[in-house]
């Protein structure tokens, strides 16, 4: 675990539940410690179901409400919904400008997002989100000539100091989340449409997975990330 934790964190997640399933204990820890944690949800998640009776419009509304419930469980500072199409993200200027804008508005010391570099089977929205977020951090959010309309609107460039990637196949740091398991589970199971109601069985599964990670670092429960330090 790094010695100095960030005072301000921006979490950029492809779908409404991705950050809870992979980083929920860490987010809970940051919130409990009084950090300013802002969640940016890129897609509306309107295709994430096997229920043929629900419309995409109703699913998007449901998933947004579930995300707000998760935010309450954590005590997040703010949730930003970009409401882009599920399974439709592209590595383009439109998407990148949105992420740059929120980096410059919220001025995080640390940005948490998904690792775009998983091999073989991966959700395309995941890889696109991770890549766009990394590009937004460096160099776009830093350079004043990138998106000059931001400066015209009073939104100044910002240098992020570090990035953490969740679901990385090459983690190099961990967070002990043992004390934050309850909050993590409450946030995760706010997404009822995706993971169902919280139960003893679901808690057991989560403890097993987090415990396997924790065993690598001699702690009870842990989450792991790739940390990238950004040169100043």
User: Which ranges of 107-180 would DSSP assign to H, the alpha helix?
Assistant: 124-135, 148-152
Q: What confidence score (pLDDT) does residue 121 get?
A: 65
Q: What confidence score (pLDDT) does residue 2 get?
A: 47
Which residues, at least 6 apart from 20, have a Cβ–Cβ distance to it below 8 Å? 27, 70, 184, 187, 188, 190, 191
Q: What confidence score (pLDDT) does residue 122 get?
A: 76
What integer is the mean pLDDT of 159-170? 96
**Higher-pLDDT residue of 38, 121:** 38
pLDDT over 50 (residue 71): yes
Measured CA distances, 144 to 14, 150, 151, 156 (Å)? 26, 9, 8, 7
In 3D space, the residue among 171, 147, 163, 154 whose CA is nearest the CA of residue 224 turns out to be: 171
Confidence of residue 3 (pLDDT cuts 50, 70, 90): low
- Please give the Cα distance from 178 to 23 (Å, whole number): 13
**CB contact at 8 A, 113 and 40:** no
Measured CA distances, 111 to 4, 28, 39, 131, 229 (Å)? 15, 15, 10, 13, 11
Q: What confidence score (pLDDT) does residue 231 get?
A: 74
Fold annotation for 8-229: Rossmann fold (3.40.50)
In 3D space, the residue among 140, 141, 199, 133 whose CA is nearest the CA of residue 164 turns out to be: 133
pLDDT tens per residue across span 201-230: 999 999 999 999 999 999 999 999 999 999
If DSSP codes are grouped into helix, strand and coil, which group holds residue 175? strand
Neighbours of 33 (CB within 10 A): 10
Ranges of each domain in the chain: 8-229
Q: What confidence score (pLDDT) does residue 6 get?
A: 53
Q: What confidence score (pLDDT) does residue 1 get?
A: 40
Which residues, at least 6 apart from 192, have a Cβ–Cβ distance to it below 8 Å? 66
Q: What confidence score (pLDDT) does residue 119 get?
A: 78
Q: How are beta strands 36-43 and 78-84 bridged, if at all? A: parallel
pLDDT tens per residue across span 24-34: 999 999 999 99
């Amino acid at each position: 675990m790094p010695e100095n934790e960030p005072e301000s964190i921006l979490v950029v997640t492809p779908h409404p539940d991705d950050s809870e399933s992979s980083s929920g204990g860490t987010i809970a820890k940051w919130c409990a410690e009084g950090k300013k944690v802002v969640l940016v949800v890129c897609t509306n998640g309107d295709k994430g179901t096997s229920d043929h009776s629900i419309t995409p419009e109703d699913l998007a509304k449901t998933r947004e409400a579930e995300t707000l419930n998760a935010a309450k469980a954590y005590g997040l500072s703010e949730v930003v919904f970009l409401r882009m199409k599920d399974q439709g993200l592209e590595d383009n200027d439109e998407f990148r400008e949105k992420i740059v804008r929120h980096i410059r508005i919220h001025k995080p010391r640390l940005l948490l997002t998904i690792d775009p570099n998983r091999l073989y089977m991966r959700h395309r929205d995941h890889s696109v989100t991770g890549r766009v977020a990394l590009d937004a951090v460096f160099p776009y959010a830093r350079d004043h000539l990138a998106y000059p309309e931001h400066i015209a609107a009073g939104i100044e460039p910002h240098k992020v100091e570090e990035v953490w990637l969740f679901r990385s196949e090459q983690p190099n740091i961990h967070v002990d989340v043992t004390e934050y398991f309850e909050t993590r589970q409450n946030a995760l199971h706010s997404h009822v449409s995706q993971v169902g109601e919280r139960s003893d069985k679901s808690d057991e599964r989560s403890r097993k997975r987090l415990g396997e990670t924790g065993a690598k670092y001699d702690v009870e429960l842990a989450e792991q990330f790739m940390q990238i330090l950004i040169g100043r």
